[in-house]
Amino acid sequence: MQNSFARTARRFFSPEALVPFLFGSVALGVLSNAAFTLLTNQFGTDTSSLLAIGIGSLLILALAVWVVTRLVRPLSAETSVPGKRSPTKRKGLIVLVSRKPPCEKAIEFHRPVLERVWLICSTQSLPVAQELRTQYPALAGTEPRVINDVNDPLDFCDVVDGIYRTLPNHWSLHKFMSLVRCRV
């Protein structure tokens, strides 16, 4: 609930929604001023009446956000970009380890056909790589490969090229990965 509330709030205040938001804010301001005037004429302007009007307004706002969240949720289902197709599931996967959830998502996506996973990590992300290796013992057959300098792309290229050189004989690079080799 809290996560969907945050997503809805971000949509309200996104740059694409700025003009409609401003127009709606002015319209709501005029409407709320008229409603406040009607309510104070009906119930008075003493402190308890004003407090009840304020609490009622907050409850109405919370209800409106909840309703919009319920209406927007079906529309916010992850849709694919037109013209973009899903990647092909692969037997082998090279994972650059950072945070655990994206790595798990990649492994789970390829898992129906996945036979082997190579984990490339930094010294900071080594504990995450070790967790993934124990979580997927059949998939992570090799030790995580630690990169010394994460700001040096050539270090990554060397490790990836080393993985390519040690592929099982029955795997071809073309069928194995859709990645381009770092160096020829």
pLDDT at 36: 85
List, edge to edge, every strand of the sheet that includes 92-96.
92-96, 116-121, 145-146
Span of 11-15, 27-31, 78-82, 135-139 with lowest mean pLDDT: 78-82
Query: Are residues 117 and 92 in contact, defined by beta-carbon separation less than 8 angstroms?
Result: yes
Instruction: Determine the Cα–Cα distance for residues 125 and 152; give it in Å rounded to an integer.
Output: 16
Span of 9-13, 86-90, 118-122, 139-143 with lowest mean pLDDT: 139-143
pLDDT at 143: 82
**Other CB atoms within 10 Å distance of the CB of residue 40:** 14
Taking CA atoms, 178 is separated from 88, 93, 157, 175, 181, in Å, by 9, 10, 15, 8, 10
Angle CA 22–28–33, to nearest 5: 130
* Strands 92-96 and 116-121, bridge-based pairing: parallel
Burial of 84 (0-12, 13-18, 19+ CB in 10 A): exposed
134, 95, 127: which is closest to 114 by C-alpha?
Answer: 95
pLDDT at 178: 44
Q: What is the pTM of this model?
A: 0.51
Query: What is the per-residue pLDDT across 96-105, written as a single tens digit (0 to 9) for each?
Result: 888 888 888 8
Average pLDDT for 116-131: 88
pLDDT at 81: 63
